[in-house]
Chain A
Amino acid sequence: MSKLEVGILKSKKPNSGQSRPNRFFKKGIILNNFMSFQKIPELKPLYLERITSILNNKEDLKKYLEILKIQPVKSIRCNTLKISVEKLKEVLEKKGWVISQPWKDFPEVMIVEGKLQDCGITGGSTKCHRSDLRGSLKETSGCLSPEVMIVENQLEPGELGRSLEHLLGYYYIQELSSMLPVIALQPKEGDIILDLCAAPGSKTTQSASLMQNKGTIIANEVNMGRLMVLASNLERCGVTNTIISRKDGSALCKKFANGEIKFDKILVDAPCSGEGTLRSSRQTYLMWNIKTIQQLSKLQKQLFKSAFEILKINGEMIYSTCTHAPEENEEIVSWALEEFKDQIKIEKINLPIKPRQGLTKWEDKEYFEEVKYSCRIYPQDNNTEGFFLAKFKKIK
């Protein structure tokens, strides 16, 4: 059932030179957000205690808890291996989708705000395409006709994934914060890149797109089910510069080390407790537990160490997770700075959104001062999901 809304835009006659404010309602979006408030599981008390201590500010915590109740925006990334940004935008707008491009320097990133369900001009015979109508409304401040009815809607569940354009691989459905590691890594056309934990393939396809299928990516995934999803997504997106391997991440790195194969860039988007995905995955509320965090922290250190050893001198590596847990984030970064001492340098990252600095202390733990150069992404700051990333350079 669609979340319908109707907005009636009334104005003086088109050529009267006067217009009334555009009453282009977006009730559909509001209604949808209201509906998403329902049936959210309770946060586990220990999680609430921990996130309270991390945020350390009542107002901030309130904003965080509020935004958890709202589904994240519907974001897509244009697959420039198959279609230009301009063409995709045009095609999607012709379907009636309302598209915005939130990041000026990354026009391939788009948000599908909703869709124009129907439009018409009552009492007249003129017909126009809905995207033309929308354009005209913008240009004329809504004085197109004495009475125009516009119905704007949220996309139905799954609609993004069912469109012809998605099936043909023209875009990839990807949450905004998940695009940040590749933006920070800046893959170039000739690079040899290792994507150590690659499934489902969002970051691999994003890298291939930036590399225009030049260079080479090794995309690894240990789990067969997830590897099949990875293979399917790479195929749909027309990625031709990638080799898929299936091996435990640390063991794969050892193989490369034995074969003296090193990489220009490495992405370690590590398996994590997923605290950052609470907005979209209600499962995370139920699955969260502290033991998993402690186990993951060990695995993440292992992956980091193995990957860093096969990075070329002057090569760059991104470590990222979709969690807020310091044991999986700053603790790994601080440990790595200690472990590799004079071989490693943490780099500042330029992102198209507002990050917060990494923590330098939490509970009874103190981390290296440079850990502040890592980036914490909170959902309440940029209306995204939660994320963490840090960039390193191998200097020796």
Chain B
Amino acid sequence: MDYQKIKMNIHKQFKILSLKEKKQIENKLKESFGIKSIYGTLLQKSEEKIFLFQGSLTIPELQRLERLIPIERAGVYFAKLQKGEIRLSIEGTQILKDQITKNIFELDKKQTEIWMMGEELDIQTGMKGFIIIKYKEHFLGCGKASFEKISNFIPKNRRLKNRNIIK
């Protein structure tokens, strides 16, 4: 499994985003995917990774807890900021699936197998930038569409090892 990446993230401190900073993330998500709002607290690790915590602790309670114990992670890895754009993780797309209204690209079974094996797709989508990848009712994270392909971001530990297993 791809624990090295997780290990690296765990060692970095996180920052609880203010309401203003959360609003900026929401604006990016609205612009990219039509998402209106996010329920919960956002936390940032390094410059890029955004985590979503939806537990009952408030921001002051989280801050108090952070002073008391070594917090390695809060909530789920939700999105990544990349050069001003935002890319949702698999969980990010699943949590917000009811709000996603645009830049969705639906795969067929064969494409889904290729996608879930971590390979890029040679497809002209007519879209550009980060797009939501979907197969039937399953949300499969984001890809980056360019003129002739969709780049893949499925982490190694979430990839299919064999084809012909999607029914």
A217 beta carbon closer than 8 Å to chain B: yes
Q: B112 contacts which chain A residues (CB < 8 A)? A: 164
Q: Are A190 and B167 in contact (CB under 8 A)?
A: no
Most buried by A among B91, B162, B165: B91
| Distance to closest chain A CB from B119 (angstroms) | 15
Q: Are A214 and B56 in contact (CB under 8 A)?
A: yes
Q: Are A244 and B72 in contact (CB under 8 A)?
A: yes
Q: B77 contacts which chain A residues (CB < 8 A)? A: 235
B19 beta carbon closer than 8 Å to chain A: no
Q: Are A243 and B74 in contact (CB under 8 A)?
A: yes
B55 beta carbon closer than 8 Å to chain A: yes
Interface residues of A in 191-242 (CB under 8 A from B): 192, 213-218, 224-225, 227-229, 231-232, 234-236, 238-242
| Distance to closest chain B CB from A366 (angstroms) | 39
Q: B91 contacts which chain A residues (CB < 8 A)? A: 169, 235, 238
With contacts A235-B76, A255-B68 taken as known, whether A228 is within 8 angstroms of B3 at the C-beta atoms is yes
A35 beta carbon closer than 8 Å to chain B: no
Q: Are A216 and B55 in contact (CB under 8 A)?
A: yes
A301 beta carbon closer than 8 Å to chain B: no
- Which of B28-36, B142-150, B152-160 is the contact stretch? B152-160
| Distance to closest chain A CB from B27 (angstroms) | 21
Main secondary structure of the interface of B (DSSP, over half): mixed
Sort A-B residue pairs by CB-CB distance and give the 5 closest, nearest first: A241-B55, A216-B55, A240-B54, A244-B73, A228-B3
Q: B54 contacts which chain A residues (CB < 8 A)? A: 213-214, 240-241
With contacts A164-B160, A168-B138, A241-B54 taken as known, whether A259 is within 8 angstroms of B68 at the C-beta atoms is yes
Cα–Cα, bound, A214→B40 (Å): 11
Q: B74 contacts which chain A residues (CB < 8 A)? A: 242-244
Q: B6 contacts which chain A residues (CB < 8 A)? A: 228, 231-232
A348 beta carbon closer than 8 Å to chain B: no
Q: Which positions in B face A, CB cutoff 8 Å? A: 1, 3, 6-7, 10, 40, 52-57, 62, 64-65, 68-77, 90-91, 94-95, 112, 116, 138, 140, 157-162, 165-167
Q: Which positions in A face B, CB cutoff 8 Å? A: 82, 94-96, 162-164, 167-169, 190, 192, 213-218, 224-225, 227-229, 231-232, 234-236, 238-247, 252, 255-256, 258-259, 261
Could you jot down 26 A-B contacts, CB within 8 Å?
A96-B167, A164-B116, A167-B116, A168-B90, A168-B140, A169-B94, A190-B56, A213-B55, A215-B56, A216-B55, A225-B3, A227-B72, A229-B1, A229-B3, A232-B157, A235-B77, A240-B40, A240-B52, A241-B55, A241-B56, A241-B75, A243-B75, A245-B69, A245-B70, A247-B69, A255-B68
| Distance to closest chain B CB from A108 (angstroms) | 18
Cα–Cα, bound, A281→B161 (Å): 24
Considering the complex, give the chain A residue whose CB is closest to the CB of B66. A243
Cα–Cα, bound, A217→B74 (Å): 10
Q: Are A242 and B69 in contact (CB under 8 A)?
A: no
Considering the complex, give the chain B residue whose CB is closest to the CB of A82. B94
Cα–Cα, bound, A332→B48 (Å): 46
Considering the complex, give the chain A residue whose CB is closest to the CB of B53. A240
Cα–Cα, bound, A82→B158 (Å): 16
Q: B53 contacts which chain A residues (CB < 8 A)? A: 240-241, 243
Q: B7 contacts which chain A residues (CB < 8 A)? A: 224, 228
Q: Are B76 and A244 in contact (CB under 8 A)?
A: no
Our pick among A244, A256, A261 for the contact of B71 (Cβ within 8 Å) is A244
Cα–Cα, bound, A239→B112 (Å): 25
Q: B166 contacts which chain A residues (CB < 8 A)? A: 164
Cα–Cα, bound, A245→B161 (Å): 32
Q: Are B158 and A243 in contact (CB under 8 A)?
A: no
With contacts A164-B166, A231-B73, A261-B68 taken as known, whether A240 is within 8 angstroms of B55 at the C-beta atoms is yes
| Distance to closest chain B CB from A322 (angstroms) | 23
Q: Are B160 and A232 in contact (CB under 8 A)?
A: no
Q: Are A256 and B10 in contact (CB under 8 A)?
A: no
Q: A255 contacts which chain B residues (CB < 8 A)? A: 68-69
Cα–Cα, bound, A163→B74 (Å): 27
Q: A256 contacts which chain B residues (CB < 8 A)? A: 68-69
| Distance to closest chain A CB from B118 (angstroms) | 11
Cα–Cα, bound, A94→B167 (Å): 7
Q: Are A215 and B69 in contact (CB under 8 A)?
A: no
Considering the complex, give the chain B residue whose CB is closest to the CB of A161. B161
| Distance to closest chain A CB from B29 (angstroms) | 16
Q: Are A167 and B158 in contact (CB under 8 A)?
A: yes
Considering the complex, give the chain B residue whose CB is closest to the CB of A95. B167
Cα–Cα, bound, A234→B62 (Å): 19
Q: Are B55 and A162 in contact (CB under 8 A)?
A: no
| Distance to closest chain B CB from A133 (angstroms) | 14
Q: Are B72 and A246 in contact (CB under 8 A)?
A: yes
Considering the complex, give the chain B residue whose CB is closest to the CB of A87. B137
Considering the complex, give the chain B residue whose CB is closest to the CB of A251. B69
| Distance to closest chain B CB from A259 (angstroms) | 4
With contacts A229-B3, A245-B72 taken as known, whether A215 is within 8 angstroms of B165 at the C-beta atoms is no
With contacts A168-B138, A246-B72 taken as known, whether A162 is within 8 angstroms of B56 at the C-beta atoms is no
Q: Are B94 and A217 in contact (CB under 8 A)?
A: no
